Amino acid sequence: MPGCGHAIDSIQNRKIIQAGNPGKLKFSLVIALSMLYLPLISQSGWSVVANSVWKITVGKKQPITLLSAANSAPKYDALESLERVPFPLDSTKIHFEVIDGKTYLRFPLQRAEEIYGFGLNFQTQNQRGRILNLHVDHYGGQDNGRTHAPVPFYLSTEGYGVLIDAAQYLTVYAGTAVRVEADDPPQLMDRNTNPAWQAQPYSDAVEVLVPADGVEVYVFGGPSMLRVVQRYNLYCGGGYLPPKWGLGFTQRVPTLYNAEAILQEADEFAAHDFPLDFIGLEPGWQSMAYPCTFEWDDSRYPDPQGLLSQLSVKGIRTNLWLNPYVSPIASLYDSIRPYSGSHTVWNGLVADFTLAQPREMFRQHFMKNLLNIGVSGFKIDEVDGFDSWLWPDVARFPSGTPAEVMRQTYGLTLQRMTAEWFHEKNQRTYGLVRGSNAGASALPYVLYNDYYSHKDFITALINSSFIGVLWTPEVRASDSAEEWLRRMQSVCFSPMAMLNAWSSGTKPWSFPEVEEEVRAVARLRMQLLPYLYTAFARYQKEGIPPFRAMQLEDGYDALSKLDATLAIRYQYMMGESLLVAPMFAGDSTRQVALPPGKWFDFYTGAYVGDGEWITVKPGLEHIPLFVKDGAIIPMTAPRNQAPLPGEKLSLVVRKYGQQEGRYMLYDDDGVSFDYEKGAFSWSELTAKFENGAWKPELKIGNTAAFNYSQNITWIFMGQ
Ligand code: GAL
């Protein structure tokens, strides 16, 4: 090994970790202890930074990391409420070295171990055996690490996770490389005579090259994969709880629409009796786009405030598209110029938002001209790629932040800045972003892109649950009514039910032959609002992703024995107990892998299977949905908009199967951050079987924050 490097000895880690793992002590004591250990441990081992979360700083601490860019604030109390587990890896097999300004990391792998995560992948799930160059970019059709959220976090079927909190472009060898000194080397084979010979032999490690002279690494304990994800999300601040309207339907209108066309669009939605909670305006709202002015075009929008209030009277919020590159004709241009990078994007300035001054200039402009007149959210475009569009890696920024670090964190920074403005107004927002990274779970944004494979969109939605981000399989256009309906069904079972008609001008009813079915699924989403909102509340408070890969479910082991690899790329869980199995155009049947336990058809209540493969033939009108035995699904009557604060909704509660059930229903005002001060409720719904009959019950947690009528309609399905 070259003499200029220094190795960090991890032999003593086990001892130190146990010493720093204080049983049932309160979290403040854990923090105190970890602070006490930090100076001692950081030279030679791991420190405990929260319950069952460990950290090591290898080499030099970097000024900007992903978690620092996202400004993540760990939810220590929620972490503390989870079980305590020992350090989950053999620390003697973890290796770090800093050589010539680069950091080399190595983590052990077991024979049967699978690993998930390592960015937002569209075509693959298990990343073992893959080489990835983690780099924020527009997805280019290959799972090679260049993607919208190249989060350097992976979780393992062995029940642990690792985050490499580095804002550099990382090269990951996820179980591909074999060292001479391998702990568990591959079997030697002669290709001449042995047909089992493999070009890529077995590898016993994940290795990562960090192009910096130091890095912070975190290990998250399990024991289950879901726990690992929970701990990761909670360490990043928990999930984001959208406003209720954010979970309604949204239509993005053609780019050159004007105020009149938007009002007409809103009226058309009402005339078609179709759900609509917010409208998205695309680049044409601005006086110039690519680069942007962040100012209204006064020929198309002579009275923006008037438009926003007319929409608001109709119960519709407004979301504005932007990319962050400042046009020479923008009023912000002169003031931003001294704080911007050496290179332009489409002739626009790239502000150095690591500095407080340009952040404040943007804040003032956006508050005064947009938020304070009623804008409810943003779509932050073009913070991902492509290389030939964005600033090059040779660009210089006034703060001295390398262009590479800027690229890896720009989307995070914009998310954080805008989120803080809305928080300052005590107003929840929910928007779109095309570039993100680690630490984003608490930020109010959903990822999207221009790639348009329906199937790969579903895999991205599933994979997003491994890395603390949200994804929408947005609908734009379709070749047939069947494809239109299938895509609409999927998007209504995703974090954002969105039609992005910016270039196509499509409407939900563009294919009249399936208009009724499209309306039905959009309204089903609205009916499921109490359930969906609760799923997001659990994301926020417990770190449980509202849309989840099957790998995160109990019984995944049994599923993998069914060789379900293909099916589970296209099926996922929504909330506690709903399994969603989207259909794709051209298919009239599909396979669904059911985890162990009894499952029921959502629509009919019919029993469908238990720990097995089933083949379903759902017809065009339905997206296949299955419900766990004993599940309670709180719904409301069909409606077109989320409730206003204080409005009381009816509750229609479905109980499936033979097992008794219990469900905790979350509620609050649906729009503000008052829940941070205790203005929320958890109410208990139970269904017990007593003396030959079902006995349903509701126990309201906090009446002041419970916006449902107490006359519940219970429906028992699958008896
Ligand atoms: C793209 C974006 C589209 C649409 C378009 C408007 O970059 O992905 O969704 O917003 O810009 O020009």
CA of residue 77 to ligand 1 center, whole Å: 40
Task: Assess whether the C-beta atom of 378 lies below 6 angstroms from ligand 1.
Answer: no
Crossing angle for the helix pair 515-527 and 481-491, to the nearest 10 degrees: 0
CA of residue 375 to ligand 1 center, whole Å: 19
Report residue 659 as tokens.
């097992």
**In which band, very low, low, confident or very high, does the pLDDT at 27 lie, cut at 50, 70 and 90?**
very low
Question: CA of 538: how far to CAs of 311, 436, 545, 575, in Å?
Answer: 31, 22, 8, 9
Per the CB < 8 A criterion, the answer to whether 221 and 227 are in contact is: yes
CA of residue 381 to ligand 1 center, whole Å: 7
| Three-class SS of 413-439 | HHHHHHHHHHHHCCCCCCEEECCCCCC
Task: Assess whether the C-beta atom of 597 lies below 6 angstroms from ligand 1.
Answer: no
CA of residue 282 to ligand 1 center, whole Å: 8
pLDDT, residue 28, reads: 44
- Evaluate if residue 22 carries a pLDDT over 50: no
pLDDT, residue 5, reads: 31
Tell me: the pLDDT tens digits for 602-644?
999 999 999 999 999 999 999 999 999 999 999 999 999 999 9
476 Cα nearest atom in ligand 1: 9
CA of residue 585 to ligand 1 center, whole Å: 25
Rounded to whole angstroms, how far apart are CA atoms 687 and 667? Answer: 20
Per the CB < 8 A criterion, the answer to whether 648 and 636 are in contact is: no
pLDDT, residue 644, reads: 93
Task: Assess whether the C-beta atom of 601 lies below 6 angstroms from ligand 1.
Answer: no
Report residue 170 as tokens.
């990382």
Half-sphere exposure of 448 (CA within 13 A, CB side): 24
CA of residue 320 to ligand 1 center, whole Å: 12
- Using a cut of 0.85, tell me whether the model's pTM lies above it: yes
Closest residue by CA, ligand 1 atom 3: 450
379 Cα nearest atom in ligand 1: 10
450 Cα nearest atom in ligand 1: 8
Average pLDDT score over residue span 208-237 = 98
Average pLDDT score over residue span 306-330 = 98
Q: Which of 449, 502, 504, 506 to mutate to test the pocket of ligand 1 (most atoms within 8 A of CB)?
A: 502
- Evaluate if residue 410 carries a pLDDT over 90: yes
Task: Assess whether the C-beta atom of 282 lies below 6 angstroms from ligand 1.
Answer: yes
CA of residue 474 to ligand 1 center, whole Å: 12
- Evaluate if residue 8 carries a pLDDT over 90: no
Per the CB < 8 A criterion, the answer to whether 582 and 618 are in contact is: no
Mean pLDDT for all residues in the chain: 93
DSSP state for residue 643 in the 8-state scheme? P
Alpha helix segments (H runs only) across 464-609: 481-491, 515-527, 529-542, 556-561
Where are any strands of DSSP class E within 60-129? 95-99, 102-108, 115-117
CA of residue 295 to ligand 1 center, whole Å: 18
**In which band, very low, low, confident or very high, does the pLDDT at 133 lie, cut at 50, 70 and 90?**
very high
- Which residues, in sequence order, are CB contacts of 175 under 8 Å at separation 6+? 109, 115, 128, 129, 130, 203, 204, 205, 206
Q: Which of 286, 320, 381, 476 to mutate to test the pocket of ligand 1 (most atoms within 8 A of CB)?
A: 381
Task: Assess whether the C-beta atom of 283 lies below 6 angstroms from ligand 1.
Answer: yes
Task: Assess whether the C-beta atom of 500 lies below 6 angstroms from ligand 1.
Answer: yes
Cβ neighbour number for residue 144 with a 10 Å cutoff: 18
More confident of the two residues 562 and 266: 266
321 Cα nearest atom in ligand 1: 10
Task: Assess whether the C-beta atom of 450 lies below 6 angstroms from ligand 1.
Answer: yes
Closest residue by CA, ligand 1 atom 10: 282
Closest residue by CA, ligand 1 atom 12: 283
Task: Assess whether the C-beta atom of 287 lies below 6 angstroms from ligand 1.
Answer: no
Per the CB < 8 A criterion, the answer to whether 434 and 447 are in contact is: yes
pLDDT, residue 448, reads: 98
The type of residue at 652 is: V
Task: Assess whether the C-beta atom of 381 lies below 6 angstroms from ligand 1.
Answer: yes
Strand partners, 340: 351
502 Cα nearest atom in ligand 1: 4
DSSP state for residue 705 in the 8-state scheme? G
Question: CA of 498: how far to CAs of 117, 389, 629, in Å?
Answer: 25, 26, 31
290 Cα nearest atom in ligand 1: 12
